[in-house]
Chain A
Amino acid sequence: MKVVALGNDNAGDDGAALLAAKQVAANTVAASVKSSNPPTENTPSKSRISVKPEFVFAGRVGTELLDIFDSTEPIILLDVVTGSGPPGHILRLGFDELINYVAPGRQVSSHGFGPAEVLQLGQALGRSLPGGCFIGIEGHHFGPGRALSAAVNAAMGAFVETIQTAINEFYESYP
């Protein structure tokens, strides 16, 4: 399983997904140390590796996301969104929903190869959608600096919890 975080941690709320992923990674490390449940010899090595989330702090990754999506493992993709609701609103979508989250049309910028555009490109090329889900948080302030807006900062706990819940769900359903 991969947890992939997008955004810019020097652009206000745009760094919220990266920040949340760091927090979940820290929690995951703490939990794994606490549970200390070593794999047995009967556990296939692939399963032992795959059930541990791999955290990818991808930033503003563009079309390289297509390579990250080229995976048989579930992917939990984290990003900051606009237009989903009030600042701090948390949005969870399947990738089949995310692909239609932005209207197909003119591609604004090569920096604008966001998750939906990359999924659209992958679909046009006949590639399968990855397993997993997209979790976004509505941003408000995208100016310079690392500080989050008050609304997004207040919602970070719920954002982290939503991510952790998704990890646990895919962990349990992963063969």
Chain B
Amino acid sequence: MSERVKVYKVDLLTRVEGEGRFYLKVKDKRVVESRLNIFESPRYFEAFLRGRAIEEVTDIVARICGICPVAYQMSAARALENALGVVPGASIRALRRLLYCGEWIESHALHIFLLHAPDFLGYGSAMEMAVDHKALVERGLRIKKAGNALIALLGGRAIHPVSVRLGGFTAVPSSRQLADFRPVLQGVLDDALEAVRWSAGLSFPAFDQEYTFVCLDHTEYPLEWGDHIHISGQGSVPVGDFHTQITESQVAHSTALHSRLKDGRHYLCGPLARLNRHHQRLHPVALDALTKSGLALPVRNPYQSIVVRALEVVHALATALDIIDNYRQPERPFADYVARDATAAGATEAPRGLLYHRYRIGGDGLVKDATIIPPTSQNQAQIEADLVSVAPQLLALEHDRATHLCEQLIRSYDPCISCATHFLRLDIDRGDSAHGINQ
């Protein structure tokens, strides 16, 4: 095997949502090929939606992901309500934000404690890690359970909730119900603050990158609301114009579309983009935790995303408690609307980043066309670029260590291949059969 060509390969990337593969080929110490292969069958949700009643959309898109169904419901509702000219009242908006907080809490807790923490502590899985770090895992499970309980309370059930509908909710809780639930969230706030302290003390590989960050803008710390999207170095554009700023393209090695800016740049959405743009809008409790964590802004090291996610858990918990304290049950759980010919977009911030929906609907109340751009699709090109950037570090490492560094980097993005489409497998092939490569 020529020493000039090294191909890194690992068959299965673990602890991400879904499955896929990465392939990295190095020639004369220069990366000549970097592919994030996503080859699970396309899921055709956009096609499923055509011809369906607009009332069905929030329930259908919730099925795209079991980890972030609320994000899909919220983006769909925002887009369709924009098309219908419906603006939810303050109480409905607050409830939606509360429901979304539940999803951030459970999704981030899953990733921080069960998927990403083993990388930093040197374990192959959460099960192995739990033997030596019981308190850490129990803390994560407590936080995750609280998030799931919040989703179940507002959404009817924790997985694929069913209460979100156009104009509002099918039913809303009473003030008493929320007040009774408050201790569940208050009870894990200290756990979340401890998670910030713990994660900020981890050791991070040096890997600061120059990113173009993309996130919702002209809003509070972005979550369920925002009418503009900010592209760092370029400015903000109305959500309805976002599709004119990017191109989606099919690449041979992936069943998920790649998103790039019109000028060809890849970009990053997600926790780092949100924090760097909106850190001053964090809940005061989370802002205080950020200050005490010593995390330097802007955060440009993706490995540090574990700290940012922990901060966002604190933000979500503190925000949820405020919403409960100020909640007034709306007189009606949803606003009425009349179907009309229209095209509109909506976007919200899923745990993994910007989730963009665009629908063309008819006066007959049916969906004519649907476009869904999930965060992992948007980050896919950036992940490939980062793996190119990390390649020089790999060449000096043993194969297992190099492989682990790549996996850890990919896991930093918390990619949801299930949303992007499904399958992720990491191949790091260094062209050296002595390391069991080219398997």
**Per-residue B-contact encoding for A63-95, CB less than 8 Å = 1, 0 else:** 110110000000000000000000000000000
Tell me if B124 counts as interface (CB < 8 A to partner A).
Answer: yes
Tell me if A33 counts as interface (CB < 8 A to partner B).
Answer: no
Q: Quick check: A60 and B127 within 8 Å, CB to CB?
A: no
Tell me if A62 counts as interface (CB < 8 A to partner B).
Answer: yes
Q: Quick check: B124 and A105 within 8 Å, CB to CB?
A: yes
Tell me if A125 counts as interface (CB < 8 A to partner B).
Answer: yes
Binds B, one of A41-49, A108-116, A132-140, A159-167: A108-116
Question: What is the size, in residues, of chain A's interface with B at 8 Å between Cβ atoms?
Answer: 25
* B19 to A, closest residue via Cβ: A109
Q: How far is the CB of B298 from chain A (nearest CB, A)?
A: 28
Tell me if B364 counts as interface (CB < 8 A to partner A).
Answer: no
Question: Chain B: interface residue count, which band?
Answer: 20 to 34
Total CB contacts across the A-B interface at under 8 A? 75
What CA separation (Å) do A60 and B131 show in the bound complex?
25
- Indicate which residue in A58, A64, A66, A107 contacts B14 across the interface (CB closer than 8 Å): A107
Q: Which residues of B contact A106 (CB under 8 A)?
A: 12, 14, 124-125
**Given A63-B141, A106-B124, A125-B137, CB of A111 within 8 Å of CB of B14:** no
Give the residue among A61, A110, A124 with the most B Cβ atoms within 10 A: A110
Tell me if A151 counts as interface (CB < 8 A to partner B).
Answer: no
Q: How far is the CB of A58 from chain B (nearest CB, A)?
A: 8
Q: Quick check: B66 and A60 within 8 Å, CB to CB?
A: yes
**Per-residue A-contact encoding for B367-384, CB less than 8 Å = 1, 0 else:** 000000000000000000
Tell me if B67 counts as interface (CB < 8 A to partner A).
Answer: yes
Q: How far is the CB of B254 from chain A (nearest CB, A)?
A: 18
Tell me if B80 counts as interface (CB < 8 A to partner A).
Answer: no
Q: Which residues of A contact B134 (CB under 8 A)?
A: 124-126
Q: Which residues of A contact B148 (CB under 8 A)?
A: 64, 67
- Indicate which residue in A111, A121, A124, A126 contacts B66 across the interface (CB closer than 8 Å): A111
List residues of A whose CB falls within 8 A of some B CB: 10, 58-64, 66-67, 104-111, 113, 117, 120-121, 124-126
Question: Can you add 14 more A-B contacts, CB < 8 Å, to A59-B160, A110-B115?
Answer: A58-B159, A67-B145, A67-B148, A105-B124, A106-B124, A108-B19, A109-B15, A109-B19, A110-B111, A110-B114, A111-B17, A111-B418, A121-B127, A121-B130
